[in-house]
Amino acid sequence: MAVMLFLYNYFNRRTVLNIARIQWFVMGMIFLLFVILNGLYLFEWPSFDYFMSFLISMVLLIIFHLVITRYISQKQATLEKQEIRNKISRDLHDDLASTLGSISIYSNTLEFTKNAQDFNLPKKIAGLSQMALQSISDIIWMTAPRNDTLQSLISKLNSMMYELFEDNKIQFVSAIQVPDKEIVVEEKLRNNVFLILKEAAHNILKHAQAKRVVFEVKFLNNFCFISLNDNGKGIDVAGNISSGNGLINIRARALESGIDLTINTNEQKGTTIGLRFKI
């Protein structure tokens, strides 16, 4: 019992990888016990005692393997749930904290300002509220299992960008190659692709002064290629990495999911952000 309690407490302090290592170690110890017992009691082949000791050792190995495998599965499920919760919490904080903070500031200003229309406060509050609702909608979309396909991802990106740019009087053009069959995309990859392009689209809106945006999706040799091009003023990549503008987040998300990311920018031709990932 003491050994079981020790192993239980030890398992709770270790990762799944360490648990797997312990599993193989204990299985090796059980096999070693079989060898020692045969050596001590001189169970000789093909005696009944030899087969019984072998059978007992194998039963112990199988039971231990099943117990640990079940424990590892439960541990992995718990870790996955925790990762999803952390991701939702992080996304809620990133997307909503600044927006709700701005709404609070404008609301307080509105309360003590006689000429609110002069500062355009009601319109600003309405716009920020719409952004907050959109962020919540995006988070719900990212966590829904029914959206695990590449087709769903492309459709969501296309509709999101169309609304964003058309509402701000920017011409939006999409050239999308539709896959022949439904392609399931791993959740982390799907969400990072979505958040990268969402960040890039908002950067175009805020900084590029573009009049036209082109969204392209192509497939070749089990790879998906996505590009977002604007005809704005270009960006200083080195300067923006140090000052923000979302490029740090974009690069970090691409690295996390193994996405090949390219950023080409020119003052006369605007900026093109390209993504390539295996499907």
Question: φ and ψ at 222, to 5 degrees?
Answer: 65, 25
Does the pLDDT at position 79 exceed 50?
A: yes
Distance between CA atoms of residues 140 and 145, nearest Å: 10
CA-to-CA dists, residue 220 to 112, 135, 179, 238, 277, angstroms: 59, 32, 10, 31, 11
Q: With cut-offs at 50, 70 and 90, classify the pLDDT of residue 2.
A: very low
pLDDT at 4 over 50: no
Q: Indicate whether 87 belongs to any domain.
A: no
Could you tell me the residue range of the domain that residue 184 belongs to? 148-279
Q: What CATH number does the domain containing 204 carry?
A: 3.30.565.10
Q: What is the pLDDT of residue 8?
A: 43
Model pLDDT for residues 63-72, shown as the tens digit of each residue: 777 777 787 7
Query: What contacts 159, CB < 8 A, 6 or more positions away?
Result: none
Looking at the domain assignment, is residue 102 inside a domain?
Answer: no
Q: Tokens 């704005």 correspond to what residue?
A: 232
Could you tell me the pTM of the whole model? 0.65
Residue 204 lies in a domain: yes
Q: For the segment 25-44, what is each residue's pLDDT rounded down to a tens digit?
A: 666 766 666 666 665 555 55
Residue 7 has pLDDT above 50, yes or no: no
Encoded amino acid at 89, one letter: S
Compute the mean pLDDT over every residue in the chain, rounded to the nearest whole number: 77
Is residue 53 a contact partner of residue 79, using CB atoms and an 8 Å limit? no
**Number of domains composing the chain:** 2
Q: Is the Cβ–Cβ distance between 226 and 197 less than 8 Å? A: yes
Confidence of residue 5 (pLDDT cuts 50, 70, 90): very low
Statement to judge: residues 277 and 172 lie in one domain: yes
Please give the residue that has the higher pLDDT: either 244 or 139: 139
Q: Shortest CA distance to 251 belongs to which of 236, 237, 235, 265?
A: 237
Q: Which stretches within the chain are classed as H helix?
A: 2-12, 16-41, 48-112, 121-143, 150-167, 187-203, 237-243, 247-256
In a domain, 158, yes or no: yes
